[in-house]
Amino acid sequence: MAGCIDKILGVPPVEIENELDALRKELDTEVPKKTVDQNLLVATWNLRSFGDLTEKWVVTENDSPKRNLHALRCITEIIQRFDVIALQEVKGNIKCLRHMLKALGSNWSFVLTDVTKGDPGNNERMAYLFDNRRVQMSGLASELVVPYNQLQSINEDALERQFARTPYAVSFRAGGSPVKKPKTFILVTLHVLYGKNPKERVPELKAIADWLSDWAKSINAYDHNLIALGDFNIDRKDDELYQAFTSTGLQVPNDLHRVPRTIFSDPTKPNTEKFYDQIAWFTGEENMPALSLRHIKSGHFDFTQSALSTLNLTKNQLSWRISDHYPLWTEFSLTEN
């Protein structure tokens, strides 16, 4: 197996290496650079069905899956630009993940959930990958479970079951020096069940918002920052789903309202944009603790112009090789006390 995994470290064909170089140059332009003790780059990415891998640089018509070493190197180039990234749709088969970790190298670590069983769980895991030169786990790794009495008391929209894919919380620390304590933060990632219609998502989003509100108040005494990120399957800003998610004070940075979430977005069709993926935190309003990390800016990375660009793929074909979602990122400052 080790020999198979080492293929990801091999020298790709010249045309693929040239394309990877173009991708790196675009990332240099579009994503903030990591600066020692100055900034923190947190990201989230729904990687479509991130499981099996065809261990070839070039796939044929009969190969399955179509995600290959070429595509995985593109994904790796993007992921390594961040300090910590939450991944959704990591499958029970972690072949892609194992190869990617080999490509990322010994400076990277990961933590992930077990597979979520049952049809709604879709055999998925949730994972965090992080650059341990800049970010370290600080002790907590927990799945969020709604207490029984809260299931009964939320309101008529109460969640009638536990989460289909349980939100996953992990604490990290970044920065710090002999005279300055590090910044500590808890990331909570989730992938909300899509359901048959938008109304089916409201109870789960409301339950998550209530749970995060209670937890944020209890951990505030320990000077932790709480950040929710992942695929919330929110259709539009300010719709019923968005209102449920933000009902207890979670706020999404304004610059994320202006970026597309999926590669199928059509800017020529107003009011059709989806807001599935989000990064959000409490800002001190509605009696909630404020994030002590200072937000600098947020954005997404559009990989469609450079990743696998020489293959002339349709968007649907590209979605199965890279993803149908764009990665979202947020840059925070580590310089303030």
Domain ranges, residue 29 = 2-333
Residue 18: the pLDDT is 96
The amino acid present at 15, given as its one-letter code, is E
Residue 202: the pLDDT is 81
* Among 10, 24, 16, 28, residue whose Cα is nearest residue 59: 16
- The residue assigned the tokens 């590669």 is 263
Angle at 298 (CA atoms; ends 222, 282), nearest 5 degrees: 35
Residue 154: the pLDDT is 42
pLDDT per residue rounded down to tens, the chain (337 residues) = 555 667 899 999 999 999 999 999 999 999 999 999 899 999 999 999 999 999 999 999 999 999 999 999 999 999 999 999 999 999 989 999 999 999 999 999 999 987 654 444 457 888 999 999 999 999 888 877 665 555 554 444 444 444 556 788 999 999 877 777 888 999 999 887 666 777 777 877 887 888 888 888 876 555 578 999 998 888 777 788 888 888 888 899 999 998 999 999 887 776 667 888 999 998 877 778 788 899 999 999 999 999 999 999 999 999 999 999 999 999 999 987 5
The amino acid present at 256, given as its one-letter code, is L
Residue 263 CB coordination number (10 Å): 18
Q: Which residues of 2-37 are buried (b: 16+ CB within 10 A; e: fewer)?
A: eeebeebeeebeeebeebbeebeebbeeebbebeee
Residue 165: the pLDDT is 61
Question: Is the C-alpha dihedral spanning 13, 14, 15, 17 positive or negative?
Answer: positive
Residue 142: the pLDDT is 82
Residue 120: the pLDDT is 47
CATH of the domain at 299: 3.60.10.10
Write out the DSSP string of 219-274: HGGGT-EEEEEEE----STTSHHHHHHTTTSEE--GGGGGS-SBTT--TTSTT---
Measured distance between the N- and C-terminal CA atoms of the chain, rounded to whole angstroms: 47
Pairing of strands 84-91, 124-131: antiparallel
**Contact, 211 vs 188, CB < 8 A?**
no
User: Looking at the 3D structure of the chain, how many domains does it have?
Assistant: 1
- The residue assigned the tokens 């070429």 is 70
pTM above 0.85, yes or no: yes
| Token duo for residue 308 | 């696998």
The amino acid present at 47, given as its one-letter code, is L
